[in-house]
Structure 1
Amino acid sequence: MKYVILIHSNPQPWGHPTTDYIPEQQALPKADSDRMTAEFEQILTEMSENGELEGGQALGDPTSARLYRWAGGKPIATDGPYAEAKEHLAGFFLINVASQERAEEIVAKFSGPGETVELRPIWEG
């Protein structure tokens, strides 16, 4: 089963890793932050070694995004990344796992205070 893990964020200023720029993450005790980082690195290594991680990428500064909509029969470009949202898509991971339960186990390691992480199945029509 394929899923995409979408990392939504609202850091000010923008940067990667986004956790370094989120106030709730910055407020964590160093031991907690280090533990969460280690767990995240561990799950990435595990997925890579067992073939579950198919890819992923951090996305660039959202202020450089363009949003395209149709008006008057043609696409009109505006500043992006979204029409009316403070959060933006910061990055994604494509995984291929045996079950939804495994996907949920993985995505739990991707989320921390102040973050929104979305797990969405890939549509394979």
Structure 2
Amino acid sequence: MKYLLIIHNNPALLGSLPKEELDAMMNAHEPFQQALKESGELVGFVALADAADSRVIRVLDQVPAVTDGPFVEAKEYLAGFYVVDCDSFDRAVELAGRMPEARYQGVEVRPVLAESGLGA
């Protein structure tokens, strides 16, 4: 079964970390990815640009309205995700707990119900 391991970033939290700690968190993704490749559980991953570079499109009265992102007023924003293929939800939760961000903020685990283009 495939699972999405969703990374939410909080700019205030990340901005409060010492540079060395932030760099260590970001650099920890490479060995995490390598371990998932070796176990055969990595389907793919996506790192997203800063939420300030996003736009939100809503159709109001049949007219598209474009505003600067992120999607909603929130302290956190979607920063990226991994797609893993593992034996159980418990294993996906275990993997999420190994992600560098899990030491600082929540990593959401969500089962994938349908897919296209994810190596199926």
TM range (shorter): 0.7 to 0.9
- CA, structure 1 residues 60+72, in 2 after alignment: closer, same or farther (shift >3 Å)? same
1:83 CA displacement: 1.9
Percent identical = 36
Q: Normalization by structure 2: what TM-score?
A: 0.76
- For the aligned residues, what is the CA RMSD? 2.9
Partner of 1:121: 111
Amino acid at match of 1:70: V
Alpha-carbon deviation of 1:57?
Answer: 1.7
1:117 partner letter: V
C-alpha deviations, 1:29-48, integer Å up to 9, x for none? x7xx96x7897654422211
Q: Does the 8 Å contact 2:6/2:78 carry over to 1? A: yes
Residues 90 and 83 from structure 1, CA distance in 2 versus in 1: closer, same or farther, beyond 3 angstroms? same
Distance 1:83 1:107 in 2: 25
- Report the alpha carbon displacement of residue 75 of structure 1 after superposing the two structures with TM: 2.3
Give the corresponding residue for 1:90: 79
Q: Which letter maps to 2:9?
A: S
When the two structures are superposed, what TM-score results if normalisation uses the length of structure 1?
Answer: 0.73
Residue 63 of structure 2 aligns with an amino acid whose one-letter code is: K
Unaligned runs of 5+ in 1: 13-18
Contact 2:11/2:75, CA 8 A, preserved across alignment: no
Deviations along 1:40-90, one digit per CA (max 9) or x if unpaired, are 654422211122111112110111100111201132111112222121111
> What is the CA-CA distance between 1:107 and the residue it aligns to?
0.4
**Runs ≥4 residues deviating over 2 A:** 36-44
